Amino acid sequence: MPKYCEMCGKEVSKLTRVRVASAILNVCDSCQKFGTPVDIPHQLAMQSPHINQEIVVKLPERKVIVPPAKPKPKKSEDIERLQIDPDFAALVRNARARLSLTQDELAAKVLERKNVIASIERGDLLPEIKTARKLEKVLGIKLLTEE
């Protein structure tokens, strides 16, 4: 079986073990100068006949720490009982005009898109409770009523 240098790949008859940058390589005589020779004591090799045996290291299992689930905050008012004023479109449009805001500016303040605000003002889109609360806060109007 031919032997090859692990550094340059040249086929050689005799290999020498050297340490190159913390790695032990079998190299030819010309590549030997790049590392320091490593001598394997014959006594050590003969004393441990199971040198090629697999070593299994068992690491302790890590415990997975799961934080306790946070309880959802209870809201004082039941969302299902809230209703949006049927005249919401005119209320939003008039309040925006009173504050002299454009649809773009209002959209930026309530973190919605301009087309959502335009649809709400036209009456095409019924705002979600979350959006209606934002509009109430920014515009200073009352859109939500309890049944």
Complete DSSP assignment for the chain: --EE-TTT--EES--EEEEETTEEEEE-TTTGGGSEE----HHHHHH-TTTTS----PPPPPPPP-PPPPPPPPPSS-GGGEEE-TTHHHHHHHHHHHTT--HHHHHHHTT--HHHHHHHHHTSSPPPHHHHHHHHHHHT---EEE-
- pLDDT of amino acid 110: 93
Query: Quick one: pLDDT band at residue 43, thresholds 50, 70, 90?
Result: very low
Task: Please identify, in words, the CATH class of the domain defined by 79-146.
Answer: mainly alpha
Query: Quick one: pLDDT band at residue 134, thresholds 50, 70, 90?
Result: very high
- pLDDT of amino acid 7: 87
- pLDDT of amino acid 89: 93
Report which listed range, 16-25, 64-73, 117-126, is most confident: 117-126
Query: Quick one: pLDDT band at residue 90, thresholds 50, 70, 90?
Result: very high
- pLDDT of amino acid 91: 92
Closest to 87 in 3D by CA, of 36, 121, 42, 40: 121
Render pLDDT for 56-70 as a digit per residue (tens, 0 to 9).
777 777 788 888 888
Residue 48 predicted with pLDDT over 80: no
Query: Quick one: pLDDT band at residue 139, thresholds 50, 70, 90?
Result: very high
Alpha carbons 97 and 99: distance in angstroms, whole number: 5
- The more confident residue out of 79 and 106 is 106
What are the sequence ranges of the domains in the chain?
A: 3-43, 79-146
For range 112-116, the mean pLDDT: 94
Query: Quick one: pLDDT band at residue 15, thresholds 50, 70, 90?
Result: confident
Give me the chain's average pLDDT, please: 83
